[in-house]
Structure 1
Amino acid sequence: MVRILKRIIEGASWTQSVPEHKPPYIERLTKAINNREKVILYGTGDREGICGISILVLVLRYFNSDVEYFVVSGNESEDALRDLVRRHIDFFSPGLMITLSDKVTRAACDAAGDEEGLVMAIGVRAEERSLSFFKEDLSLVGNVYQLSELLSSYYNTRNFMRYSDLVYLGAPAGIPAGNNERLYRALGSEQLECTTNYGLCAAKAITRGHIDGIRKFITPKDNPVGALDNSRIIIEMLTTGDGNRAEQIAKYLQNLTLC
């Protein structure tokens, strides 16, 4: 906490300044939240995708949003993804679909047709047909966190700060980080020490708090048959509000690693 306060004193900003006029992506998100529109999230099943989806699910649930998430492998054909999104549109009638993958963004835009404001891409270069939030100096999970930061500023809350531990754990290694990304990861490292995330608490207990162990624990096994199912299970562990359920899921995942 002392180090965090020092950063504030030295000038590191917790929240982005709120523009006088809402950017289109914030306008669309706040509309979806305030009107309780069905929101569907799409992301990949790797560790960064899992952490990105988890942050968005937690933030949107905090704002009482009606949200569902779906995990894709990224190896599907565009036709298969387009058919998947169309089925979701027919079944859920979503007001907003948020994508964390350029491939899914293209498929979602094709499935949405001429309907404006239905598709939003985060952390990936978007098609002209979709709204987008993308900063080149941030990783995918860093983009998700910064958007959550900006969205929270419009609702005058700093609740998003508790999710910085997922940025720290989800950010890919070996990618040069800009100033904001380094700050998010540093904050996440400190947040992880006192995390309130039930899933991470359970993972820390099993891995004895070793960072590499936690990262490995929330990374699906490289198994094409069960990887997507494991990704969904990990997201459930990271987003549940039930401590007992988080512990049960963590024990299940631990048993998988022993198989």
Structure 2
Amino acid sequence: MTHRWNIRPQTKEEIHLRDALAATLGLNPIISLLLVQRGITTADQALHYFNPDLRDLHDPFLMPDMLKAVKRLNKALGNKERIMIYGDYDVDGTTAVALVYKFLRAYSSSIEYYIPDRYDEGYGISFKSIDYAVSRGITLVISLDCGIKAIDKVAYANERGVDFIICDHHMPDDELPEAVAVLDAKRADSQYPYAHLSGCGVGFKFMQAFAQSNDIPFSTLEGLLELVAVSIASDIVPITGENRILAFHGLRQLNNNPSFGLKGIINVCGLSGKDILVSDIVFKIGPRINASGRMMNGKEAVDLLLSRDMEAAEELSENIDRYNEDRRELDKKITDEANAIIEQIHDMEAQKGIVVYDPTWHKGVIGIVASRLTEKYCRPTVVLTRSSELITGSARSIPGFDIYRAIESCRDILENFGGHMYAAGLSLREENLQAFIDRFMEQAARDIGPEQMTPQIDIDTVISLRDINTKLMADLKRMEPLGPENERPVFATMHVRDHGTSRRVGRELEHLKLELTDRHGGGPVHGIAFGMSEHSYYVKQQNAFDLCYTLEENTYNDNTTLQLMVKDIRPSSIAEG
């Protein structure tokens, strides 16, 4: 697929700020430029960026209803009421449940947790769970990562004597549930300074407020930050502001002293002894936790995260690793089937959106399939299947198209929906399927321009291969944690050539292993270009080419080297000589 390269221009002001920052702090000018591009222009801002401080977390009582939530929890604990911690079945929900349960179990013996069944109960708060709470004598439910739209469910709970404290981070409607407290920084009336917390992050802020109100030292919360870091990375929320502070200290906990449960996952992922980054959570740790809710029941993931000994953690981690293998096979099968449907669309080039439906597809993996199709076709995609009496689906988007708003515009024909700009879920009755497809496709046709359907690679700056060394890598590592809105820097180098040893690798020779030099005398530098073997002939003919990439460390047999993770290759436009 052809990519547009968007090389960020450098203004005179940025160059001036870069040089000043480099001189003041003794930084590599490349790193200084990356900081300036991220809005970090003073030495004080840079020091805070490199050393996120827990003391800079916001006062949790700035969040609407926080005082009400804390008062109700204190009352429940004081009266020895039965409390249920309720959460969604994905990584964000299960880490949130584990965090709140883990902290509160020290203060109550009348506490339990509940994860709804993806297939029997669906997303969010269910009537079944409320009936269960009543049968158990539970009078307070703390819902995490869900509940912001559960107006009818909370009303039903109120009728049955069950109070709700809702901790959520999804977009609310104009009307909020009649809960005791609704904690969501995205509320229209919220003055909370940071609106992008994960669901687990909202749960953490609730526990922070509870601790403050009871003079419990903040240090007792710090061991829970590993769970917040896993949720932030897995839920793809911005790694800026408060999230960056939480993720930084959570990753430190995860690397230095992980809990038994996360240590078990680290071991089965093959990450033991390695420096765990956000990308490791996104691609290895998170998918395994998610696999429990996708293939079986998310409660097993919470059981793992709450493990009190290594033996139990290892057994549960191995189970979850098997679920993940099953998930991968199913994901590939359904993706292939979805691609086959799309290939039959005769005017696909003219289509600005994709909706595919098969009633037999496994509900637990359609979100992953939607992500893969969106990436492949560069179009907003909705993948639908049947679940009980309804059609249910997951949607993923492309930059610049708000898929939540597109789905919200169809709310009159939907049974349920929720999400945010780039990812959403929905359910509808079969008789409304064609109307939904027509309206969604009309919205996409109206709002998406041709340029949005060509994938774009945003490049921070152009550098020479001779700029790449261990010092640059060490400085880049100081920018961790990296992720949404604080992305891993992407570099471009122009007019490079094969050093003579580049070759195709992989089971089907689908990848390119590169060894490169450039016209400035830089190199040789090693790189890997996954799925780009079609460039092999051009490269081996000693033609000049440009490439863009991220810079990473590659460890093999205890030997660590620098490696370019190539994102794209194109023939060089610079003339010979």
| TM-score (normalised: structure 1) | 0.81
**Aligned to 2:180, which of 111, 120, 130?**
130
Runs of 4+ in 1 over 6 A off after TM superposition: none
User: Highest Rg: 1 or 2?
Assistant: 2
- Pick closer, same or farther for the CA change 1:151–1:15 going to 2, 3 Å: farther
User: After the TM superposition, which of the residue ranges 106-115 and 33-42 deviates more from structure 2?
Assistant: 106-115
Q: Which amino acid counterpart does residue 165 of structure 2 have in structure 1?
A: M
| Alignment-derived partner of residue 120 in structure 1 | 165
**Aligned to 1:240, which of 297, 307, 332?**
307
Distance 2:110 2:310 in 1: 22
User: After the TM superposition, which of the residue ranges 56-65 and 43-52 deviates more from structure 2?
Assistant: 56-65
How far is the alpha carbon of 1:120 from its aligned partner? 1.0
User: After the TM superposition, which of the residue ranges 101-110 and 177-186 deviates more from structure 2?
Assistant: 101-110
Q: Which amino acid counterpart does residue 234 of structure 1 have in structure 2?
A: A
Number of residue pairs matched by the alignment: 247
**Aligned to 2:87, which of 43, 49, 60?**
43
Work out whether residues 151 and 178 of structure 2, in 8 Å CA contact, stay in contact via their aligned partners in 1. no
| Alignment-derived partner of residue 167 in structure 1 | 228
User: After the TM superposition, which of the residue ranges 212-221 and 93-102 deviates more from structure 2?
Assistant: 212-221
1:13 aligns with 2:56: yes
| Alignment-derived partner of residue 203 in structure 1 | 265
- Pick closer, same or farther for the CA change 1:207–1:4 going to 2, 3 Å: farther
Q: Which amino acid counterpart does residue 183 of structure 2 have in structure 1?
A: F
Determine which structure has the larger helix proportion and give its number.
Answer: 1
Which secondary structure does the structure 2 equivalent of 1:39 belong to?
strand
Distance 1:222 1:94 in 2: 24
How far is the alpha carbon of 1:4 from its aligned partner? 11
Name stretches of at least 5 consecutive residues in structure 1 with no aligned partner: none
Work out whether residues 237 and 249 of structure 1, in 8 Å CA contact, stay in contact via their aligned partners in 2. yes
Which secondary structure does the structure 1 equivalent of 2:126 belong to?
helix
- Pick closer, same or farther for the CA change 1:177–1:214 going to 2, 3 Å: closer
How far is the alpha carbon of 1:25 from its aligned partner? 0.6
CA displacement, residues 70-93 of structure 1 (integer Å, 9 cap, x when unaligned): 112567479x9224412321x111
| Alignment-derived partner of residue 69 in structure 2 | 25
How far is the alpha carbon of 1:56 from its aligned partner? 1.0
| Alignment-derived partner of residue 238 in structure 2 | 176
- Pick closer, same or farther for the CA change 1:221–1:116 going to 2, 3 Å: closer
Work out whether residues 47 and 220 of structure 1, in 8 Å CA contact, stay in contact via their aligned partners in 2. no
How far is the alpha carbon of 1:145 from its aligned partner? 1.3
Work out whether residues 166 and 182 of structure 2, in 8 Å CA contact, stay in contact via their aligned partners in 1. yes
The two structures, once aligned, show a CA RMSD in angstroms of: 3.2
Determine which structure has the larger strand proportion and give its number.
Answer: 2
1:220 aligns with 2:291: yes
Work out whether residues 74 and 103 of structure 1, in 8 Å CA contact, stay in contact via their aligned partners in 2. no
1:98 aligns with 2:98: no
User: After the TM superposition, which of the residue ranges 169-178 and 40-49 deviates more from structure 2?
Assistant: 169-178
Work out whether residues 87 and 94 of structure 2, in 8 Å CA contact, stay in contact via their aligned partners in 1. yes
Distance 2:239 2:50 in 1: 22
Q: Which amino acid counterpart does residue 213 of structure 2 have in structure 1?
A: Y
Q: Which amino acid counterpart does residue 13 of structure 1 have in structure 2?
A: D
**Aligned to 1:148, which of 207, 214, 220?**
207
Work out whether residues 117 and 131 of structure 1, in 8 Å CA contact, stay in contact via their aligned partners in 2. no
CA displacement, residues 141-192 of structure 1 (integer Å, 9 cap, x when unaligned): 2111111112122232221111111111112454335521221111111111
- Pick closer, same or farther for the CA change 1:96–1:250 going to 2, 3 Å: same
Greater relative contact order (CA < 8 Å, ≥ 6 in sequence): 1
- Pick closer, same or farther for the CA change 1:132–1:249 going to 2, 3 Å: same
Work out whether residues 52 and 244 of structure 2, in 8 Å CA contact, stay in contact via their aligned partners in 1. no
Distance 1:173 1:83 in 2: 26
Distance 2:150 2:109 in 1: 21
Distance 1:84 1:180 in 2: 32
Work out whether residues 109 and 130 of structure 1, in 8 Å CA contact, stay in contact via their aligned partners in 2. no
Kindly, what percent of the aligned residue pairs are identical?
A: 16
Distance 1:190 1:201 in 2: 13
Distance 2:122 2:52 in 1: 46
Distance 1:106 1:17 in 2: 25
How far is the alpha carbon of 1:103 from its aligned partner? 6.6
| TM-score (normalised: structure 2) | 0.39
Distance 1:112 1:50 in 2: 22
CA displacement, residues 95-125 of structure 1 (integer Å, 9 cap, x when unaligned): 2111221278435422223577711101254
Work out whether residues 99 and 105 of structure 1, in 8 Å CA contact, stay in contact via their aligned partners in 2. no
Which secondary structure does the structure 2 equivalent of 1:41 belong to?
strand
